[in-house]
A and B are shown apart, each in its own frame.
Chain A
Amino acid sequence: MNFIAIDHVSLSYGDSKVLKDISLTIEKGELITLLGPSGCGKSTLLRVLAGLETFQEGEIYLDGEEISERAPRDRNVGMVFQSYALFPNMTVFENIAFGLSVKKLSKSVIKEKVNAVLQLVNLEDKADYYPEQLSGGQQQRVSLARSLVIEPKVLLLDEPLSALDAKIRKQLQMDIRALQKKLGITMIFVTHDQEEAMILSDRIFVMSEGEIVQQASPSELYAKPKSKFVATFIGNYNILSADELKQLDSAFSPKRINNKYAIRSETIRLEPIPGEEAIRFHGKLEHTITLGSTIRCYYNTGSVQLTVDLLNRDLEKRELDQDAELYIHRDHIVAIEG
């Protein structure tokens, strides 16, 4: 039996349907990500799991028990908020101890557990500080510790790193993943950042307009997006119609009329690709953007403009207005739903 099962859950605010018949399952010890743009329903789904939103249809199961009707405090879930939601009147120690103290554990047990979790998030020396005296990254680690110390069955993280700067965000991504593996805890992470989702997740659930449009492992999702929405959201894909693709590959014959075709920008090469499945075509370099280790080049083939990501080297191959030979392997052309 699945550790978490969300079964045909729907939620509406008046006439507006926020979650549309959502079903998903999660195994114990997995870290899954709900990924999608603002307003797609990912945070609402997380809040439904936490018991903070009331839904109209469906059921939720956690560790074999139905928890749909249970109050948040009876679900045994932990939650980390984007805004930290630390209690300003309490020190770091008291914040972390709060969940244990309301369960009326003895002082010695509370102290032992809080100290353990403080050590885990490297905040031993901040136990007596108030939240306002900590940096954003430290506050989020306190929030994480506060949720972990109650030993929840599942930890829900609602865009916990969005308010942090890039460097701290990357560090905390690593820390969260390491902690999750160390503790073996099930985590559900909400983010709109596809790179963050890729780094953290065992599986990613992409959401759009209240629906899960695709679920897959990060590598599978990146390589095989099912729709134009996923392709554009998850990576830097060139989306071509069947006619446009035929301009590049005369041997191409569309399987379905409605299909679109996605080509990842880094799969288009300037060097010949051996084998019969390679397509060769010409393009004129119109514009480049340096992204760091890669250069994003915009080639015009006459019928279509293609984005090509190249490693930041081989300067001679990137002169503007020069005609260049471009190559794609047919395996890298992914048919997607329009």
Chain B
Amino acid sequence: MKAKKTHYTSYLILAIFGLYMLFPFVSTFFYATSTKWSNTMLPNDFTFKWFIQLIEDPNFAAAVIRSFALTFTSLAVVLVVMVPTVFLVYTSFPKVDQFMKGLVLMPYAIPGVILATGLLRMYSGTVIPMYLVLVGALFIGSLPFMYQGIRNSLESIQTKKLIEAAEILGATRLTSFIRIILPNIRLGLLITTLLIFSGFFGEFVLTNLLIGGRYETIRIYMLRRMNENGHLASSIMVAYFLLLIGISLVITYLTSPDRRGPKKSKRHQILGNRISIAESVSILKIGVKKEKRQRI
């Protein structure tokens, strides 16, 4: 029997990478669960009092709710506008697609502070609420991820071929989009959405400059409390990480391929009532026969 080769180097690299990724989180967790940690290797004590204090603070809950509200509003706008748009551009306007691929990178060229300043000059004092301006700015900021993410998903499922097959079978473009394309890009869409969710949820520069203290989101709340107490700020950070990890796990579970096997249901079972080949042919020729009758 062939001995299984052990890849020690691979494990070592993986372990170093794991430590590198986990170290900040574990350190933050220790800091969030201690009252003093300054000149020792490990904290002097262990406590959940910062977490309890956090949960008991009504401003924290309000900040979380505001962050969720802002994130979901922005995400809803992004998804509703971008998914059909990218689909249409990808399937029907290949030249626009080439242009869009360059255009969506533009947000990278404008630093957040300059963008916020420009938006303030443009919209402050107008009838347009700054909340909507913020949603619009977040929308623009998400374009690089959203456009490329949706586009890659469309490309990976051979969208054009699927649409052609569906149209030849009698479906409209809308039916094909809803019944075939959307379910098949679900995974890619969820991953992109998660990426943007994290970005929106943790967004600070634009929110702080455009709305600031009038609409205290979790990151603005964090900044305020960090100035008061570092341990408390760490506990917010840990809670924030755990929330994102929780969302990632849910999405990973929902999109796991193991959840899709052959259906166990008997709804299409036909072995019990087999039909002959001749019957199959006659059933398929129903249309042909009708047509002949009409001609007669």
Contact = CB atoms under 8 A, between A and B. Distances in A.
Contacts of A115: 270, 275
Nearest to A120: B280
B170 A99 contact: yes
B172 interface: yes
A166 interface: no
Contact of A83 (B161, B171, B280, B284): B161
Contacts of B264: 128
Interface stretch (A88-96, A214-222, A274-282, A284-292): A88-96
Interface stretch (A37-45, A73-81, A189-197, A230-238): A73-81
A295 interface: no
B277 A119 contact: yes
A73 B281 contact: no
Contacts of B126: none
Contacts of A199: none
Interface string A123-135: 0110111100100
A274 B262 CA distance: 67
A77 B168 contact: yes
B166 A133 contact: no
A50 interface: yes
Contact of A127 (B158, B180, B268): B268
A125 B271 contact: yes
B283 A113 contact: yes
Contacts of A136: none
B56 interface: no
Interface stretch (B37-45, B101-109, B117-125, B285-293): B285-293
- Give the interface size bracket for B toward A: 35 or more
A183 B168 contact: no
Interface residues of A, number: 50
A73 B172 contact: yes
Contacts of A77: 168
A89 B274 CA distance: 27
Contacts of B7: none
B294 interface: no
B288 A99 contact: no
Contacts of B263: 91, 128
Contact of B184 (A79, A87, A112, A120): A87
Contact of A124 (B161, B169, B171, B271): B271
Contact of B284 (A72, A79, A116, A125): A116
B170 A73 contact: yes
A85 B269 contact: no
Interface stretch (A2-10, A145-153, A307-315): A145-153
Contacts of A130: 260, 262
A251 interface: no
A75 B166 CA distance: 13
Contacts of B161: 81, 83, 85
A50 B270 contact: no
B164 interface: yes
B228 interface: no
Interface in A59-112: 71-73, 75, 77-79, 81, 83, 85-91, 93, 98-99, 102-103, 111-112
Contact of B269 (A51, A127, A129, A183): A127
Given A89-B183, A151-B284, A79 B168 contact: yes
A119 B260 contact: no
Interface string B134-166: 000000000000000000000001100110111
Given A119-B277, A128-B265, A129-B262, A73 B284 contact: no
Given A119-B280, A150-B170, A151-B286, A85 B271 contact: no
6 contacts: A81-B165, A85-B164, A99-B171, A116-B284, A119-B277, A120-B280
Interface of B: 157-158, 161-162, 164-172, 175, 179-180, 183-184, 260-265, 268-271, 274-275, 277, 279-281, 283-288
Closest 10 CB pairs of A and B: A99-B169, A116-B283, A85-B165, A89-B183, A151-B287, A116-B280, A93-B268, A128-B263, A85-B161, A127-B268
